[in-house]
Amino acid sequence: MARAYKPAVDTLLDATRTTVAAVVSLLLARLLKLPESYWAPISAVVIIQSTIPPRTLSWQRFAGTALGAALGALIATFFSSSVWVYAAAIFLCGVLCAVLRFRGAFRFAAITVSIVLLIAHTHSPWIVAAHRFVEVSVGIAVALGLSEVWPSPTIAAKSPRKP
């Protein structure tokens, strides 16, 4: 007879840690009355569930989101929406991330510029970009804070020991 699957304690703790990060970031985004508050817990889950150390990934996500939001708003202000404008924006994200040495931030910049340029919004591109940046930053801050007080056992085991 097959034995029932019994989750390991680490699995349960990881699920709890991720839940706390997601819910706290959602509640904080709602408290701040952010229009698309779901971006905060999405960002928190991306950070908290990554195998990349949280400080590294947080910086990448923060820098990429800032670049993508600013670039998306700037482009949307001066150009009509088209596939060619979008293609140029994605390309420019990649070039700017390389020039600024934002290693790993390109994917986040491209995601944010895509959201700003491709989704129909009722507000100006600058308002949309600012909201996106703040919503994502809330999730980053919550996940980073939680990972400092409750580190992932997997990442903590890979980190060099302090003397």
Beta carbons within 8 Å of 48's beta carbon, 6+ residues apart: 17, 18, 21, 22, 54, 143, 146, 147, 152
Residue-by-residue pLDDT tens, the chain, 163 positions? 556 666 688 889 999 999 999 999 999 999 999 999 999 999 999 999 998 888 888 999 999 999 999 999 999 999 999 999 999 999 999 999 999 999 899 999 999 999 999 988 889 999 999 999 999 999 999 999 999 999 987 665 555 555 5
DSSP string of 70-82?
Answer: HHHHHHHHHS---
Contact 108, 65 (CB under 8 A): yes
The amino acid at residue 146 is: L
Contact 39, 61 (CB under 8 A): no
65: exposed, middle or buried (C-beta count within 10 Å: 0-12, 13-18, 19+)?
buried
Fill in the DSSP letter of residue 160: P
